[in-house]
């Protein structure tokens, strides 16, 4: 198998995994990637790789936007989480513009426990399904 064929197969596998994932798994996948983007962005900032940091932090902002848009008003926690997403977006933008890895790290420190909480919730939902 050629390298390009292997990459295509890997991409197809990822796409299939996303398309077949239950909603709670999609949220955890988004949080995993959000955390990865923030960590990569911070690392790039610390290395002075500003273009890479910009790309990673803008992708993180897009994920936060997606997470925010997926909130529904029929859940009492939506308003609080939406406010947190606004804060994260503003902080990511400021960290990117200001080339400030400490602000980026602060976003990581917010996202990591949120990701863990979503994993716990996804596990509980999966168990309830049986």
Task: Please indicate, yes or no, if residue 6 is contained in any of the structural domains.
Answer: no
Could you tell me which of 65, 108, 69 has the C-alpha nearest to residue 89? 65
Residue 9 lies in a domain: no
The enclosing domain of 89 has a CATH number of: 1.20.120.340
Q: Domain for residue 16, yes or no?
A: no
23-26 long-range contacts (CB < 8 A, ≥24 apart) are: 24/118, 24/121, 24/122, 24/125, 24/126, 25/122
Residue 17: inside a domain: no
Residue 68 to residue 71: CA distance in whole angstroms: 6
pLDDT tens sequence for the chain (130 residues): 677 766 676 666 555 555 566 778 899 999 999 999 999 999 999 999 999 999 999 999 999 999 999 898 888 888 999 999 999 999 999 999 999 999 999 999 999 999 999 999 988 988 887 6
Q: What is the count of structural domains for the chain?
A: 1
Output the six-digit token pair for 106: 């602060």
Give the CA count within 13 Å in the CB-facing half-sphere of 103: 16
Give the pLDDT confidence score for residue 80 in this predicted structure: 93
- Residue 94 within a domain: yes
CB 94 within 8 A of CB 88: no
Asked if residue 4 is part of any domain, the answer here is no
In a domain, 8, yes or no: no
Strand runs (DSSP E) across 31-84, as ranges?
none
Q: What is the pLDDT of residue 17?
A: 56
The per-residue pLDDT for 110 is 97
Domain that holds residue 105: 22-129
Is 7 within a domain?
no
Residues 71, 81 contacting (CB under 8 angstroms): yes
């Amino acid at each position: 198998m050629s390298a390009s064929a292997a990459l295509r197969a890997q991409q197809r596998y990822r796409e299939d995994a996303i398309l077949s994932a239950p909603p709670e798994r999609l949220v955890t996948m988004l949080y995993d990637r959000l955390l990865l983007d923030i960590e990569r962005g911070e690392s790039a900032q610390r290395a002075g790789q500003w273009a890479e940091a910009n790309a990673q932090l803008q992708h993180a902002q897009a994920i936060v936007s997606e997470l925010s848009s997926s909130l529904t008003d029929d859940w009492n926690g939506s308003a609080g989480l939406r406010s947190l997403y606004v804060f994260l977006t503003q902080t990511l933008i400021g960290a990117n513009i200001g080339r400030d890895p400490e602000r980026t790290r602060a976003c990581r420190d917010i996202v990591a426990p949120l990701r863990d909480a979503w994993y716990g919730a996804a596990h509980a939902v999966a168990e309830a399904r049986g």
